[in-house]
A and B are shown apart, each in its own frame.
Chain A
């Protein structure tokens, strides 16, 4: 029996990030940039697959780590994109980085994603507010890349002002197609603005879909959820068909640091996407 052994070893643990390279940086708005990221290890790159709505933990070495949802298509196997608003230490540092810079990646994480398989053959409505566009863009891509499998498709997207609209060009292109009905709204319109004004909640009453055959996806700032849900329930959409991506402080991403827990749910592990049915009676969730 050896009872005196001090042991120090190094090993890849759940907290060890994989090395990755930023291959492209694109400015989306004055406050948001899109980063294309490629894992350095070829095998890991191949293994890396995710579902729409999942997130990664990104490390800027020496500075910190933060969670980001993946807005790109899961069908793109070579790399993935992140959309980052300049808001904290990690995002500030990222905004100063250029192609070639190294970062650390852990994930993808989250058991709760947007269940696109269930949505096939049904109508889909995405309600996004502000930076909430980033997590749902992955679902948007999945649906558009397999458009014939789905029925009617609507995007309601609200921002504070026209300058904040993410993926503007892409949205303009999409508007020209018949694949999706896009309704944009802003709080503070400028002179050129010719679409809706006000919060995206206002556009829900006009939705004309049968509650039986329609899935709703919601993602936006915390304050948005309560009001959007009221409107959706008013239209009799079914809670098991309404999916919400929740934001919380997800520091470890693996259900250990506990900052993101709401009762018996952990947003990082059980979410970040939940059906309204799962959380409707969960205190603090909405």
Chain B
């Protein structure tokens, strides 16, 4: 078997996930040796419609995005959603909360008719996704792990435990002790507790674990002076589109 052909695509997003791949430094050469990258929106000028694996960044926010994602879905045998936007809509979903019509008018004013913007959805709202690499930005080592897993034929392990586990493995002082708030206890790990490592609270960019203790988390945040509105805002930042929002649970 030859090297698998991989396409790396950006739909609507900031491009940061693709930059994470370029930032791989230590592993980038090995990655290029292990797979054949035929398309890479942010990195190479060539285009190709011949690939087996698609790594997709960004969410679907326009009719044009829908066409693109459906085409990718029809070609790729394995689809990997990379980053919050692709996995669950991410930050872009704040538009849905605001109201797509309203947001469109506010941003584009009298030119709003020119824009075909639609409600934001993640990749799996349109095509089947085989694997998810969560996070904003995703943990670049996890991207490598998914590729590696696909190469040896195993299911990549995506943690279903909270950020606290990684945070303690890293020996961090709990940010609550330093007067900050954090969604770590209910948020999915895998980021190597990146934000708490730099003394900053977790914002749940990877979504919540399967069985989050939302009541305890609300009480805790309220105890630290956050209003219900603050809590919702903090929570909806990355999770407005899909999955369990605090309102639903």
Contact = CB atoms under 8 A, between A and B. Distances in A.
Are A and B close enough to touch in the complex, i.e. CB under 8 Å? yes
Interface of A: 62-64, 89, 92-93, 96
Contacts of B152: 62-63, 93
A89 B152 CA distance: 10
B153 A96 contact: yes
A57 to B, nearest CB: 17
Interface in B192-226: none
A93 B149 CA distance: 12
B122 to A, nearest CB: 26
Interface string B148-164: 00001111000000000
Contacts of B153: 63, 92-93, 96
A24 to B, nearest CB: 22
A60 B247 CA distance: 45
Nearest to A90: B154
A92 B154 CA distance: 8
Interface of B, secondary structure class, is loop
8 contacts: A62-B152, A63-B152, A64-B154, A89-B154, A89-B155, A92-B154, A93-B152, A96-B153
Interface in B74-116: none
Contacts of A93: 152-154
A86 to B, nearest CB: 13
A96 B153 CA distance: 10
A205 B155 CA distance: 44
A64 to B, nearest CB: 7
A97 to B, nearest CB: 11
A105 to B, nearest CB: 20
Contacts of A62: 152
Contacts of B155: 89
Given A62-B152, A63-B154, A96-B153, 4 more contacts: A63-B153, A64-B154, A92-B154, A93-B153
Interface in B151-197: 152-155
Nearest to A96: B153
Nearest to B153: A93
A92 B153 CA distance: 9
A89 B145 CA distance: 14
What 4 A-B pairs have minimum CB-CB distances, sorted nearest first?
A: A89-B154, A63-B154, A62-B152, A63-B152
Contacts of B154: 63-64, 89, 92-93
Interface string B21-44: 000000000000000000000000
A89 B150 CA distance: 12
Taking each of A63, A64, A89, A96, which has the highest tally of chain B beta carbons within 10 Å of its own beta carbon? A89
A89 B153 CA distance: 8
A92 B149 CA distance: 13
A62 B148 CA distance: 10
Nearest to A61: B152
Nearest to B151: A62
A251 B153 CA distance: 21
Taking each of B152, B153, B154, B155, which has the highest tally of chain A beta carbons within 10 Å of its own beta carbon? B154
A89 B155 CA distance: 7
B174 to A, nearest CB: 25
Nearest to B148: A62
